[in-house]
A and B are shown apart, each in its own frame.
Chain A
């Protein structure tokens, strides 16, 4: 097994009045794609930001540890952390339309990381920027390098973001919902690009998404989050073939699948009743208000993680004991 790049242990992120992420554990290894899946409000974006120590001012990491390549990130000074950002760990964000500075050319924005971390001169940086644009398959890179972001489409801007991120050949790339804001056809291209870069540059890729289709196609391992907690972890095939946690089952049951041959007039989507806001005040398992198999004891505290098989984790002893509850849905 490749060495762990990013090790997050027992991470808790808190704001003044709440903790949107609690006791989170996961590992990303070199060369593998780990997907964190969850709905809005599950805390996955905060997790991504925390891994770069880019949390907003009002948030803080109240407990837990984050290690990168064996080094404790949380103990680093801000200056030491800045050295790692962009150079060893890089991140791309959800909104390509607004994530680029409108008054600087894309060449300069790519070159900025190179000049900062590699000490390149302006001319060298521009040359390398053209190479990076070519790497991310932007046509006519030598012409495009002097364009301003507003001249590019959303998909192209996201490619530029990726170019910026991998320019200094980092070891870990965090992609926070990189395709959510893009057209479906472009989504596939961007994800394919990310996967190719992962292989060619031996990156570790942490993919944050709410789209199960993305997970199925591109991830090596899946972590399912709900209301700030990890509720399940598995290989994608295992997850889709045999989801264990009631939340995962609900998610998969709710996805429309062509194979089921359902027409909207014949059947409705199986929703998970309620919404995530109900998890806020829950003392025990946050899914209790919406869970079809919850019992009274579920309120007593967050259930311990169960390992039904190697590499498989579920935070629900009831589901493991009675795996026939809920419907397993194949892809």
Chain B
């Protein structure tokens, strides 16, 4: 009895020699609009931002973890500074202008006044990290307040706030910063507040944009129909949903706060009574030709700190804003 037209499962139609073509030349990318379900497994799925998944993505990124580890070590070192190097880092402890490695007791050398570089770096870490964190906190608070009120209410409040934000963003930030710091007495709190005042417009703009888009969403309508007051809606309903870009931006804000603080101290506008990485660079500037390690070392530490924050920021961005753009 013949099998009929049913081929034996192992049979296949005669195939010509397999011709596996080379993939398309570089530069012509994926056609994301070829709508076959097998073709693109992940397209068109809207990402539900779940904290556990975001955390896992973050932990899995090598660069983000590297940044996190570096930052953590810096924070630990800063906390331990008075333990490892007790006393005032500005006090003279050894022969001046020792090169790094010359004397094992002073592994990073000494400056022109005989002060220990390593002590300066660790104590400077306290200043920079503190200023970075505190200024960012102020900027976040102000920015969230202004941005949420402006974005939520709209109308004339929004117009006024937008004008204010535009004003601050037109004036060059750093110049305004040095004006503010020089009007007040230079001290750590002054610097913190001044940097906070410079950075809040960025957050305000971001928060406003988020609020404007979120306030049209249905869950806001639902909350209002339940009789929730404005404050509650802003802080308990909308703000948690607006958090992802805020979180991402805040790490970059800390990084730029550290950069600004170091620039201020470099110019001599920081607190004259503390050691800061920037002030160490400023002090070492005169000896650039002979003792360039005085400027190199604190600068490297700044780069490391800022780099770690930027890596963390990138990692947070990937974790909280997943995009299927195929470029990873």
Contacts and interface: CB of A to CB of B under 8 A. Distances in A.
A/B: CB atoms within 8 Å of each other? yes
Interface of A: 9-10, 15, 17-18, 20, 23, 40-43, 45-46, 49, 53-65, 74-75, 78, 94-95, 276-277, 280, 283-284, 297, 300-304, 306, 317
Given A54-B24, A56-B29, A317-B6, A280 B38 contact: yes
20 contacts: A18-B38, A41-B35, A45-B36, A53-B21, A56-B31, A56-B34, A56-B39, A58-B30, A63-B18, A64-B16, A65-B16, A78-B25, A94-B33, A277-B37, A280-B37, A283-B9, A300-B7, A301-B11, A302-B7, A303-B6
Given A56-B39, A60-B23, A300-B8, 15 more contacts: A15-B38, A46-B36, A53-B21, A54-B28, A55-B24, A56-B34, A57-B23, A57-B30, A58-B30, A59-B39, A63-B18, A63-B19, A300-B6, A303-B5, A304-B6
Contacts of A95: 33
B4 interface: yes
B25 A301 contact: no
Contacts of A277: 37
B157 to A, nearest CB: 35
Nearest to B26: A57
B161 to A, nearest CB: 33
Given A15-B38, A20-B38, A46-B39, A60 B21 contact: yes
Contacts of A17: 38
B20 to A, nearest CB: 6
Contacts of A276: 37
Q: Is the interface of B mostly helix, strand, loop or mixed?
A: loop
A281 B22 CA distance: 27
B98 to A, nearest CB: 57
A28 to B, nearest CB: 20
A301 B7 contact: yes
Closest A-B pairs by Cβ, 6 of them: A317-B5, A18-B38, A57-B23, A56-B30, A20-B38, A301-B9
A95 B22 CA distance: 27
A58 B5 contact: no
A267 B37 CA distance: 31
B15 interface: yes
A10 B39 contact: no
B6 A10 contact: no
B21 A15 contact: no
A297 B24 contact: no
B7 A10 contact: no
Nearest to B14: A10
Interface in B155-191: none
Interface residues of B, number: 30
Given A46-B39, A59-B39, A297 B6 contact: yes
Nearest to A44: B36
A58 B8 contact: no
Contacts of A56: 24, 29-31, 34, 39
Given A46-B36, A49-B34, A317 B23 contact: no
B176 to A, nearest CB: 37
Contacts of B8: 300-301
Given A10-B15, A49-B34, A20 B39 contact: yes
A10 B13 contact: yes
Contacts of B22: 78
A53 B4 CA distance: 37
B34 A23 contact: no
Nearest to A315: B5
Interface in B19-64: 19-25, 28-31, 33-39
B6 A74 contact: no
A193 to B, nearest CB: 23
Nearest to B11: A301
Contacts of B29: 56-57
A304 B35 contact: no
Given A56-B29, A65-B16, A45 B5 contact: no
B324 to A, nearest CB: 13
A304 B21 contact: no
Contacts of A301: 6-9, 11
A65 B5 contact: no
Contacts of A280: 37-38
Contacts of A304: 5-7, 13
A57 B28 CA distance: 8
A74 B9 contact: no
A297 B31 CA distance: 37
A41 B38 contact: yes
A40 B35 contact: yes
A61 B9 CA distance: 23
Contact of B20 (A43, A57, A62, A75): A62
